[in-house]
């Protein structure tokens, strides 16, 4: 019997994923943190386990080196920028992801930001609760241009939904999606600047890398329409918070919808009183549908590796 550490916060209530592990004869070491765990918090938890199903925890080389029995880190999602892949490889530890399981949920949250900001729903809700019948002048989505940065499963799903609302979709991706180009007529750009200049909405779906770090900054914002809305359901590192705050307060952009932050929980109180930003606690993948699909896939990867088989979705 192997011991499987679970730190993904939704695991505690996912009976389907628990059953995958217990049916295979494994013991579950259940941890339900309020926020992603830091390295020093993980080390005492992971040192004696055979596998880990992890959320957005910081799995550094020190964490991996402290766990001599560890065979697999199964990420509850598709991002793995917080896992030290070099250390995992040196220690013969698989790192797996769960592609496609939460793409609809995340893209629907991004689309909710688009519609919510366009019609200023958050402001009118606040007005009604305060006893006011004041309306806010919104905008139609029909005919507007959305620039989607990253057309993997999430970005592709978002593009299709935006097209259904009569929006013009332009895109950036190192590997353009053939179906979006040929079937839906999405125009891809090799450079970001022309997209910044055209967009009424910008939606970010790229990983956090050296190239994408702070891609939304003072320089890129200076190229945008003053009415543009910026949506981020990917990684907080894509946006320079200082530049964004300045733009939100000086009228350089229309607003923002944020579900991902460099530091989580997000505690930058400068943003809390702004009426042109909607913020959620990194909840894009947190629907009952996506939780089950994601955690079951992660659990199945753990079972495969502990049985001596190769995983299906390893990144190293």
Q: Provide the annotated active-site residues.
A: 235, 264, 282
Strands, E assignment, 13-111: 27-30, 51-54, 72-75, 94-96
Give the bridge partners for 188, in sequence order: 171
* The pair of three-digit structure tokens given for residue 21, joined into one six-digit string: 């592990």
Do the beta carbons of residue 150 and residue 173 sit within 8 Å? yes
Would residue 173 be called left, alpha or beta, if left means φ above 0 and alpha means ψ between -120 and 50 degrees?
A: beta
**DSSP assignment of 228-268, as one string?**
-EEEE-S-GGGB-HHHHHHHHHHTSSSEEEES--SSSS---
Q: What angle do CA 24, 60, 240 make, to 5 degrees?
A: 120
Residue in the block written with tokens 């956090």? 208
Alpha-helix runs per DSSP H in 120-265 = 121-129, 153-164, 178-182, 193-198, 218-222, 241-250
Residue in the block written with tokens 């918070």? 241
**How far apart are the two ends of the chain, measured CA to CA in Å?**
25
Question: Number of C-alpha atoms within 13 angstroms, CB side, residue 17?
Answer: 29
- Cβ neighbours, 10 Å, residue 86: 11
Helix (H) or strand (E) holding 145: strand 145-149
Give the bridge partners for 255, in sequence order: 229
3-state secondary structure of 22: helix
């Amino acid at each position: 019997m192997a011991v499987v550490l679970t730190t993904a916060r939704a695991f505690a209530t996912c009976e389907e994923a628990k059953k995958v592990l217990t049916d295979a004869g494994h013991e579950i070491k259940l941890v339900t943190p309020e926020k992603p765990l830091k390295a020093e918090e993980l080390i005492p938890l992971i040192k004696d386990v055979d596998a880990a199903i992890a959320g957005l925890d910081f799995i550094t080389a020190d964490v991996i080196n402290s766990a001599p029995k560890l065979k697999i880190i199964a990420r509850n999602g598709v991002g793995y920028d917080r896992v030290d892949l070099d250390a995992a490889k040196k220690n013969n530890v698989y790192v797996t992801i769960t592609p496609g399981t939460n793409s609809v949920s995340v893209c629907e949250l991004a689309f909710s930001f688009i519609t919510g900001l366009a019609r200023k729903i958050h402001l009118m809700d606040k007005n009604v609760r305060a006893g006011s019948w004041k309306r806010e002048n919104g905008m139609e989505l029909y005919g507007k241009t959305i620039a989607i940065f990253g057309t993997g499963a999430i970005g592709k799903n978002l593009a299709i939904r935006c097209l259904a609302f009569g929006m013009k979709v332009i895109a950036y991706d190192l590997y353009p999606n053939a179906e979006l180009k040929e079937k839906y007529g999405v125009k891809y750009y090799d450079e970001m600047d022309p997209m910044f200049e055209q967009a009424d909405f910008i939606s970010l779906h790229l990983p956090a890398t050296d190239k994408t770090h702070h891609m939304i900054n003072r320089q890129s914002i200076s190229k945008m329409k003053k009415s543009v809305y910026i949506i981020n359901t990917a990684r907080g590192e894509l946006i320079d918070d200082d530049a964004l705050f300045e733009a939100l307060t000086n009228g350089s952009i229309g607003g923002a919808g944020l579900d991902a932050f460099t530091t989580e929980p997000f505690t930058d109180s400068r943003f809390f009183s702004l009426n042109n930003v909607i913020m959620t606690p990194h909840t894009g993948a947190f629907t009952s549908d996506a939780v089950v699909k994601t955690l079951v896939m992660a659990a199945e990867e753990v079972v495969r590796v502990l049985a001596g088989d190769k995983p299906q979705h390893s990144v190293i």
